[in-house]
Amino acid sequence: MKEFLKGYKEVFTHKRTLQNMLIGLFLFLFGLFVSFFAYEYIATIKGPVAEDIFLDNLPTLYVAPWFFFSIFFMGAVAIILSLVRPKRAPFVLICTGIFFAIRSFFLILTHLSPPDIQYYYGMSTGADLFFSGHVGYSFLLALMFWKNRFFRILFIALSIMMAALVLLGHLHYSIDVFAAYFIVYTIFIFAKRIFKSEYDMLIRSHL
């Protein structure tokens, strides 16, 4: 408990730590902001359905409960890990904000309809395809918490499960899934190098 309270005291009393937190919060809110407009834009676009060598040979399964539960699970875990050790929060917020912003940029470039539109349930049009947010964000969590063996294994396993889930549910094209790993790794390396002090705080937070 003493270590827990000490972490919060440092965040709000140390100028540099507080500055890191504000940078993270700004980038997170910016990512949400551009994501909103990206989703508004793609909701107005009707693109063709593309052929996919994987989906053409896979059955379409009903995966909606797992698909939606995973969104809340990943968000809850990221929030809890940041609240328990507040020094983690700046880099988690920064990476998440950059992730949202980069994905928003890709979403508006190519207009395709989802492989099986009948399997969407109102949370989106299903046209938010490239790249897979489920696969990408779970892999990003693995990279951020790589130093902790438990969380590394948990998030890698979750990312692989998400890849299988969205393919078997025909919710994403295979390129959306496989490209997510390369793009997210690039996002992580970029954030790690540009926001080095925030990353060092994450590493020092007793992972």
Q: How much is the pLDDT for 192?
A: 94
Query: Cα separation of 70 and 68, whole Å?
Result: 5
Q: What is the pTM of this model?
A: 0.89
Query: Cα separation of 124 and 39, whole Å?
Result: 8
Q: How much is the pLDDT for 184?
A: 98
Which range is most confident: 60-64, 156-160, 203-207? Answer: 156-160
**pLDDT tier for residue 207 given thresholds of 50, 70 and 90:** low
Q: In whole angstroms, what separates CA 117 from the centre of its chain? A: 23
Give residue-wise pLDDT tens across range 145-194.
999 999 999 999 999 999 999 999 888 999 999 999 999 999 999 999 99
